[in-house]
Structure 1
Amino acid sequence: MKLGGMAFAAAAGLLLSTGTGAQELPKPPVAEKRPHVVKAPFGAERTDEYYWLRDDTRKDPAVLAYLTAENAYADAVLAPTKPVAAKLFAETVSRIKQDDSTVPWLMRGYWYYTRFEAGADYPILARRKGSMDAPEEILLDQQAMAAGKSFFQVAGWAVSQDNRYLAWADDDVGRRQYVVRVKDLATGRMLADTIPNVDEAPVWSNDGKTLFYIDKDPVTLLSKRIKAHAIGTASADDRLVHDEKDDSYYLSITRTSDDKFLCIYLSATVSTEQRCASADDPREFVPIAARERDFEYQADHAGGRWVVRTNWKAPNFRLMTAADADGFKGRAAWKDLVPASADVFIEDFQPFDGFLAIEERSGGNKRLRILPAKGEARHVAADEPAYSMTLDTNPDPASAWLRYRYDSLLSPTATWEVNAATGERRLLKVKAAPGYDPAKYVTERVWVTARDGAKVPVSLIYAKGFRKDGTAALLQEAYGSYGNSYDPEFTPKIASLLDRGMVYALAHIRGGQEMGRAWYEDGRLLKKQNSFNDFIDVTRALVKQGYAAPGRVAATGGSAGGLLMGGIANMAPGDYRVIRARVPFVDAVTTMLDASIPLTTNEYDEWGNPENKAYYDYILGYSPYDNIAARDYPALFVTTGLWDSQVQYYEPAKWVARLRAKKTDANPLVFRIDMTSGHGGKSGRLERHRQEAEWMAFMLQQLGVKE
């Protein structure tokens, strides 16, 4: 039986309280329909009645009025949940040490660290010369820099090799079009040098006189060019170092571990190329190996040799090495260092003078392996069934100690170091989580058999004493795209759900690389449907096994994980009571047909190019916007940022508008638009938890979780 109008509002507890009694919610916004035909090059046509909601200037009064109306409606729907949201926010923040700091690391005679002051949303970057007992030198007071701004982010920073200059990239819009700025650390004076429309942080030449940076295309926002900026000159005069003609490549620039080379890294979905130059004289950047389709590699230099991670005749990647003199002779000069494995996926590495550190995946977990110059390789120990180990900041290749981070759903992030020669481990710090007691909870790894027989790993956490009797509420999360693996890690908000009897599940579905490269290949292009199937099959298995009650399952995912959410809403709406789609990629066909939209050309090897009919038909089969039908949907909580550069705001706006027009249920559909941020949501460590608390309160209401 469907509930409508006052009946539904009363049943769901969605009446607004006024001074004279209860008042029915206002009706949701109705977007005008303006038929627009979207054509594919081979002749296919689709009608998009909400195409008009796309406004690249973000100034159209009609568009802004609609978005404003959606926010007002969200305020009305969420008004009854505000007290719970405030409580959840307070609980989450109470588990965050207000004046926390990172473990310092030593770089060229200075100890660097970041720290927060109590109540601050943004950190202070500081250093001390020679010892942590030396006077503190504040490099960036980001809390002060963000004052008066609705959004602020420092994307990265770099100190010149002589320790004199600090360069960083910041953004106060949320569009990821950063501005590079430079500070003289000897005098504290800001230099006149500013470089707009930059991607990520710049890199210094060894003489400290030149900055290398990535110049973005102003329309597509693609990283297109590498330029060199001489300190003290106008950015208009900057020298062009590399101009990338192939729009399927992303660009980045970095230094090798031993600081001897600057390297331009060019990365497409199935191909990479690395060009390096001496950091002493970085004028000519020479390829390590020529680019070739389906050939990926990344190279680093330390200990007088090159180490290369590559998929050349190795789907799960292998590590190879080349002598110092052979570094630019191509792969014919490479020799095996760590051979390929069918069961272990090599994800990253860092060379040191005396050993090699390897980040690898096995059995759904990310672990570390140390390969000494002499002796047997060893794995770093772990004590939990589901965990993640990640290489941390290691600026000194001469060190015998490897610093790394350890994460799990149960344990707050720990920073460790391990001696490569002896295996001795030292705990440097466990990230403070006041009031949180891991002994109250249990984490486990379960395996779910998907409909085609694939074994999908799932990381779970719940409170001790939990009984698998099929009555609990569950929140399930996943991503499943680009080969990005969602590893189990501690977040302070989850304990609030566990303390209320909920279960949290992280599904490691195909499209990521948790189980190796084949796991990714089975979740992209013409096999993308596996990602949706895996997620749905995990839900059904967890319900069947008693981890959750039918009708008490929530799902959440963001960006490409938002595509996942839009897909399951169409494919299995009855399996979920409430779904949160954060900055969701939901209009896949239209976006992938438009090369002017940021990222489109980079994504052809991920989703397929719909100018090809085979890909067009396949993407059309799962695209959330194109598969909305007159059916009942779960309650939905959709978020976006007006300035999102990754997934444009109009994708979820159109999706929500069409859902409102077609869905047959009376479940609430909330659309929250942050008018001042981009893809990552609000900036600031505390403010983003306020957004999360709003969603969590809505979820608890829909799942019937008691306070």
Structure 2
Amino acid sequence: MNADPHANLPTPPDATRKPHVVTAPHGASRDDEYYWLRDDTRTDPEMLAYLAAENAYADAWMAPLKPVEDRLYEEIVGRIKQDDSSVPYRHRGWWYYSRFEAGKDYPVHARRRDADGIDAMSIQRANEAGDFGNEQVLLDVNALAAGRDYYSVGAYEISQDGRLMAYADDTVGRRQYVIRFKNLDSGEVYADEIPGTSADVVWADDGRSVFYIENDPETLLTVRVKRHVLGEPVAQDALVHEEEDDSFYMGLDRTRDDRFICIGLSSTVSDEMRCAPADDPREFFVFAPRQRDVEYSADHYDGRWVIRTNEAGATNFKLMTAPTDARSRDAWQPWIAHRNDVFIDGFELFRGFSVISERANGLERVRVLKSDGTEEFVKADEPAYSMGLATNAEPETDWLRYTYTSLTTPATTYEVNIGSGERVLLKRQPVIGFDASRYVTERLWATARDGTKIPVSIVYRKGFEKNGRAALLQYGYGSYGANMDPAFNLPVVSLLDRGMAYAIAHVRGGEEMGRRWYEDGKLFRKKNTFTDFIDVTDFLVEQGYASKDRVAAYGGSAGGLLMGAISNMAPDKYRLILSQVPFVDVVTTMLDPSIPLTTNEYDEWGNPEKKDCYDYMLTYSPYDNLTRQAYPAMFVGTGLWDSQVQYWEPAKYVARLRDLDTSGNPVLFRTNMDAGHGGKSGRFRRYRELAEMYAFALDRLGVRGDPAAAG
């Protein structure tokens, strides 16, 4: 009999318990013995020592599985075409794209001037041949990231005349950006630097001034829009708008016709837009004043505004139009009516036709409205898929670009001619060694305990037997109305090739089934998200897709909240839990308005300063509901510099879990000391992290052996 490779491991870390009471304005209080692990400066030696001890323990526990981790990493990275490039798109006389060079972690952003005989396909062929002679490099992110543990370019924007570029970079992972400027004719990077911003930046037509958003340095909330003129001191930048309601986020954009620059202000339940002429943006007008429970977004093209809104009970949204000089909702006129069975997700305006992104029966679809009044849908050929608009930078065209993917189809970009119907395959994500014909995807419907039908997307390799013996990885999210559509997942192939199934539970809290799906999974109905996930697990086991003893659950961020909740509610149904940057200390975090995102999200989770919200949130907050019972094995990951979910939430959670767990199952806690919410930067480094987590999962699920042989 083989000896247990983990038999002689050191004792798991045991964090010191220190008395601390967290109080609420209404008088409620809770003990939090691990509150001391919070250090906003990230410098406390005792806290750092604890995180280091957890990392050391994870290293020791994973050491025997290093060969499996290495194999998984090699498989995943081996499927990536390392010198790949994006589909070029044309905009104001240039073709823009990004490309990767073999062996390098970061993209090169570049462009080529438009000319006769130049199109997306010819540029792709040139890139594949390594012919870069006619390109202009905008940003070589590899060079910018050299010597840094973390580096990310959040966005870049080109001036209207194509000569200047503004770009926003982050060297920590906290999504606090510095905006910089580059002359594309000379290559000179200007001395102007604007720190402490979001990634949004928009040029005015004058080619000398930009609008940007200043963040609060503590909460990271978007608080002020300013205008900077190149060459002038940043300290003198003009204030354009200061947002006093800290439940609103801000963004910047130009309208479809480039006529207006608009500030978008959005909370969970309402919106407001302020716009100014791009050629003279001195004064911004309010497009329609904010009103609670009324959401809207607008775009301008061909002499009119088109507005997507939920006003007047349009739960699944409708489209309205308004003249250019409209300044209130009174001027809005109906265009596309609200439907109870179709959710309008967005729209794009073109010369001669319009396109609507919508959802029906839990799946995305693209509807084309022609100028002659006819309409048609872009076709899909699989039962579970994801479809949406690609980059359509120029409205004066007869061609529509859209993307298509599924759990068995890598990301694909098509271009279709609206007049003739001709369709061109522009690009399919190359996946080395992958043959889609060897895999099967299904769309299933699980019945939740309240009778609601929950959509489930599942994939497995052909030959998979639904005999109740297989291992399953079930993924979920279920918050913010975010949709977890069934897109191709390159790393998951390694699990499928080892006989596992992979499922996405489209639980309430997303918008897969329309706006009501979201409303039924937030605030005082949040527990539906958790019970839906558990009920999907029961369904998949009952249908033979998995053994009841071989189910792993996976979620991150708000999906980590889901993982923490199901671990408390149904620990016996999961062999292990994989939880990345988990939001697990709900009540304490939402009681602290200084923490990033808190005030913006009162209408998502509730405001615990109100006793009814406090009491309900306390019934599911994972940290507060840990109890003395047997928990599944767990792998919990976080980033020290995470701006979305602070590192101390999972740190506290793991520390308390160690005190109460009676199972003896391993609990690993990995902190990336140089990473934020999205993990380490670079396209390969994150796969190393994922390979470690997968190796842990395979070990706990009893999945052995090499992947299935090709054929």
Is TM > 0.5 for Structure 1 vs Structure 2?
Answer: yes
What's the CA shift string for 1:623-661, capped at 9, x where partnerless? 000000110000000000000000000000000000011
| Partner residue, 1:322 | 322
Which amino acid is the alignment partner of residue 580 of structure 2? R
CA contact (8 A) 2:228 2:237 kept: yes
| Partner residue, 1:106 | 90
State the 1:10 CA deviation: 5.0
Aligned mates of 1:597, 1:338 — CA distance in 2: 40
State the 1:374 CA deviation: 1.6
State the 1:662 CA deviation: 1.0
Aligned mates of 2:620, 2:422 — CA distance in 1: 50
1:268 and 2:267 are equivalent in the alignment: yes
Match for 1:584 among 574, 582, 585?
Answer: 582
State the 1:452 CA deviation: 0.3
5 Å-filtered alignment, 1:20-169, equals: 24-130=8-114, 131=118, 132=123, 135-169=134-168
Aligned mates of 2:617, 2:634 — CA distance in 1: 23
Aligned mates of 2:630, 2:207 — CA distance in 1: 62
CA contact (8 A) 1:71 1:671 kept: yes
| Partner residue, 2:335 | 337
State the 1:544 CA deviation: 0.5
Which amino acid is the alignment partner of residue 258 of structure 2? D
1:701 and 2:695 are equivalent in the alignment: no
| Partner residue, 1:3 | none
| Partner residue, 1:560 | 558
5 Å-filtered alignment, 1:443-522, equals: 443-522=441-520
What's the CA shift string for 1:508-557, capped at 9, x where partnerless? 00000000000000000000000000000000100010000011000000
State the 1:582 CA deviation: 0.4
CA contact (8 A) 1:258 1:396 kept: no
Aligned mates of 2:343, 2:523 — CA distance in 1: 21
Residue 626 of structure 1: SS of its match in structure 2?
A: coil
Residue 530 of structure 2: SS of its match in structure 1?
A: helix
1:224 and 2:223 are equivalent in the alignment: yes
Report the aligned-residue RMSD: 1.1
State the 1:323 CA deviation: 2.2
Which ranges of structure 2 fall in alignment gaps of 5 or more residues? 127-132, 706-711
Residue 698 of structure 2: SS of its match in structure 1?
A: helix
Aligned mates of 1:563, 1:497 — CA distance in 2: 24
State the 1:201 CA deviation: 3.0
CA contact (8 A) 1:358 1:370 kept: yes
Q: What is the TM-score when the length of structure 1 is the normalising length? A: 0.96
State the 1:353 CA deviation: 2.3
State the 1:304 CA deviation: 1.8
Which amino acid is the alignment partner of residue 406 of structure 1? Y
Aligned mates of 1:72, 1:285 — CA distance in 2: 54
Residue 325 of structure 1: SS of its match in structure 2?
A: coil
Which amino acid is the alignment partner of residue 28 of structure 1? P
What's the CA shift string for 1:424-482, capped at 9, x where partnerless? 32211101111100000000100001000111000000001111100000000010000
| Partner residue, 1:295 | 294
State the 1:108 CA deviation: 0.6
5 Å-filtered alignment, 1:630-641, equals: 630-641=628-639
| Higher mean C-alpha displacement, 194-203 vs 53-62 | 194-203
Residue 288 of structure 2: SS of its match in structure 1?
A: coil
Residue 56 of structure 2: SS of its match in structure 1?
A: helix
| Partner residue, 1:19 | none
Residue 300 of structure 2: SS of its match in structure 1?
A: strand
State the 1:285 CA deviation: 1.2
What's the CA shift string for 1:350-388, capped at 9, x where partnerless? 111221111111111111111112231111000111111
CA contact (8 A) 1:524 1:606 kept: yes
1:282 and 2:266 are equivalent in the alignment: no
Aligned mates of 1:359, 1:83 — CA distance in 2: 45
Residue 608 of structure 2: SS of its match in structure 1?
A: coil
Aligned mates of 1:575, 1:603 — CA distance in 2: 31
Aligned mates of 1:384, 1:509 — CA distance in 2: 21
Aligned mates of 1:55, 1:188 — CA distance in 2: 41
Residue 218 of structure 2: SS of its match in structure 1?
A: coil
Aligned mates of 2:225, 2:315 — CA distance in 1: 30
Aligned mates of 2:325, 2:576 — CA distance in 1: 59
CA contact (8 A) 2:200 2:251 kept: no
Residue 625 of structure 1: SS of its match in structure 2?
A: coil
CA contact (8 A) 1:251 1:265 kept: yes
Aligned mates of 1:30, 1:288 — CA distance in 2: 56
Aligned mates of 1:418, 1:256 — CA distance in 2: 24
CA contact (8 A) 1:361 1:516 kept: yes
Residue 335 of structure 2: SS of its match in structure 1?
A: strand
1:183 and 2:175 are equivalent in the alignment: no
| Partner residue, 2:683 | 685
| Partner residue, 1:387 | 385
Residue 624 of structure 2: SS of its match in structure 1?
A: helix
Which amino acid is the alignment partner of residue 333 of structure 2? K
Q: What is the TM-score when the length of structure 2 is the normalising length? A: 0.96
1:14 and 2:14 are equivalent in the alignment: no
Which amino acid is the alignment partner of residue 91 of structure 1? E
What's the CA shift string for 1:202-252, capped at 9, x where partnerless? 110011111111100011110011010001112111110000000000000
CA contact (8 A) 1:466 1:501 kept: yes
1:597 and 2:581 are equivalent in the alignment: no
What's the CA shift string for 1:308-344, capped at 9, x where partnerless? 0000120000011112233x2x111111111100000
Residue 197 of structure 2: SS of its match in structure 1?
A: strand
Aligned mates of 1:135, 1:376 — CA distance in 2: 42
CA contact (8 A) 1:303 1:354 kept: no
1:541 and 2:534 are equivalent in the alignment: no
Aligned mates of 2:497, 2:399 — CA distance in 1: 39
Aligned mates of 2:526, 2:587 — CA distance in 1: 14
CA contact (8 A) 1:180 1:201 kept: no
Which ranges of structure 1 fall in alignment gaps of 5 or more residues? 1-6, 16-23
Aligned mates of 1:303, 1:64 — CA distance in 2: 57
Aligned mates of 1:288, 1:389 — CA distance in 2: 31
Q: State the number of aligned residues.
A: 689
CA contact (8 A) 2:460 2:499 kept: yes
Aligned mates of 1:511, 1:554 — CA distance in 2: 21
State the 1:683 CA deviation: 0.8
Aligned mates of 1:421, 1:289 — CA distance in 2: 36
| Partner residue, 2:130 | none
Segments ≥4 residues shifted beyond 6 Å: none
Aligned mates of 1:553, 1:512 — CA distance in 2: 23
| Partner residue, 1:205 | 204
Match for 1:670 among 663, 668, 686?
Answer: 668
Which amino acid is the alignment partner of residue 125 of structure 1? H
Residue 226 of structure 2: SS of its match in structure 1?
A: strand
Residue 656 of structure 1: SS of its match in structure 2?
A: helix
Aligned mates of 1:25, 1:153 — CA distance in 2: 37
Residue 658 of structure 2: SS of its match in structure 1?
A: helix
Aligned mates of 1:94, 1:357 — CA distance in 2: 38
What's the CA shift string for 1:401-444, capped at 9, x where partnerless? 11111111110000011222333322111011111000000001
Which amino acid is the alignment partner of residue 525 of structure 2? K
Residue 511 of structure 1: SS of its match in structure 2?
A: coil
Residue 145 of structure 1: SS of its match in structure 2?
A: helix
Aligned mates of 1:437, 1:460 — CA distance in 2: 17
Aligned mates of 1:621, 1:199 — CA distance in 2: 35
